[in-house]
Every structure is written in structure tokens, then in C-alpha cells.
Amino acid sequence: MRHDPFSDMLEALAAIYEGEADPQGPHTAHTLRVTPSPVAFDARSTCLLDTGIRSVLSSSPLQAAQAILAVQDRLPWGSNPVEDNTEANIAAMISVATLMGPEGPIPAPDVRLGLVYMRPDCYYPLHIHDADETYVILGGQALWTAGDDVQMRGSGDMVHHPSLMPHAFRTGPEGFVALWRWSGDINLHSYAFVEEAAAELPA
């Protein structure tokens, strides 16, 4: 029986969380594994950042990155769910594909999960939110600030931000693609910046 590439992608993303120490990891993995496929997404035009996303995924050694690349044309890349809380120059730095949450497309009342791409040579300033957040870098790299910890993060790295921990990212010449998950209090209205955006988008 032939596997559906979208189901294969969900399996690959779920597997990332299987070894996570956080007990919410296996719960999230289970949620992804029982999701019916195909999942219906709203019709969209091709993401303006598609070329950059494909470039980062293509250069990644991770199975999950290749699984995403196989269904890139089907993913709902678009605006950040918290775009209303951000300035235009910040919103233009990233594209987000939300896969799971209270509003769908995979219904989940207590978790938000998706993919994010951040453009090269950009700085996304310090921000906070009520949700606990876990990032997994799938391709590319960034100088990652998580509270007092500042270090380069690359493919395969997992970074956890407890509720209200300030965090920020600075990309190099490639940008990055990451898997993100919100758990706990996943409201959108608490999303707030605690630092001015100092970096301009590259010309």
C-alpha cells in the first residue's frame, strides 16, 4: 500500500517528539499520528518565500526536512498567527505554516503546532507569551536567545522556552526552518515584544 506523503511528514514530525523528556512530547506525537489524511487546507497562492524555504530544507540532513520538502506544495505557508501583535517589518521576516491548533487545520484544543521559516540576515527581537514553546531546528541556523542562554542553534537542536521566557533569533546567510509547538496556555493575546526591532530587512 502506497503511503501518502503528507502522512509520512506527520509521522516524521511526531517522531521528533518521541524522545522528548517533556511528557507533553509523546502526547503531541500521538495527536499527530492519529490525524486522518489528507488534511484539507484553504487554497493559497505560492508562498513568496518558497524558494528560501526549499533551499534550507534541501540542505538539511534531517529526515523530517526531506519529508516536509516532499509536500511543500500542499503546506499552508502564510502569515504568522500573531501577526496582529507585530509590526510590518517584523512580520515580513517570516512565514508560518500552522498545522495544528484550536482553529485547525488539524483540530487541537490545547496545542498549537506548525512550521516557521525565517529569512536570512534578520533579527526577530525579544518577545514573550503565556504558552510554553518548543522549537526544533530542521534546517539552517540562528543565534538563539532563550532567557540568559545565547548560542548558535542548527539542524536537530531542540530549544524549550517556558512560559514568559524572553526569546529572540538572529539568522545568518541561510535563514532557518523550524518546527514549533505551543502548550499550556496557548492564547494569542499575550504575545508581546519586550525589545525594539533594531534590524532592517536586507535590500
Q: Supply the CATH number for residue 64's domain.
A: 2.60.120.10
Most confident by average pLDDT, 36-40, 43-47, 90-94, 149-153: 149-153
Q: Is position 146 within any domain?
A: yes
Distances (CA, A) of 187 to 14, 28, 102, 128, 147: 23, 18, 10, 12, 21
Supply the pLDDT for residue 44.
Answer: 64
* Residue 183, strand partner residues: 132
Q: Is position 199 within any domain?
A: no
Supply the pLDDT for residue 43.
Answer: 58
Give the residue with greater pLDDT, 100 vs 29.
Answer: 100
- Across 58-79, b (16+ Cβ under 10 Å) vs e yields eebebebbbbbbebbeebbbbe
Provide mean pLDDT across the span 137-149.
97
Give the residue with greater pLDDT, 100 vs 42.
Answer: 100
Domain extent for 177: 5-193
Please tell me the total count of domains within the chain.
Answer: 1
Q: Is position 9 within any domain?
A: yes
Radius of gyration for the alpha carbons in the chain, expressed in angstroms and rounded: 16
Q: Is position 96 within any domain?
A: yes
Q: Is position 56 within any domain?
A: yes
Q: Is position 198 within any domain?
A: no
* Residue 98, strand partner residues: 114
Supply the pLDDT for residue 140.
Answer: 98
Supply the pLDDT for residue 202.
Answer: 45
Condensed to tens digits (0 to 9), the pLDDT of residues 108-126 reads 899 999 999 999 999 999 9
Q: Is position 74 within any domain?
A: yes
pTM: 0.90
Q: Is position 11 within any domain?
A: yes
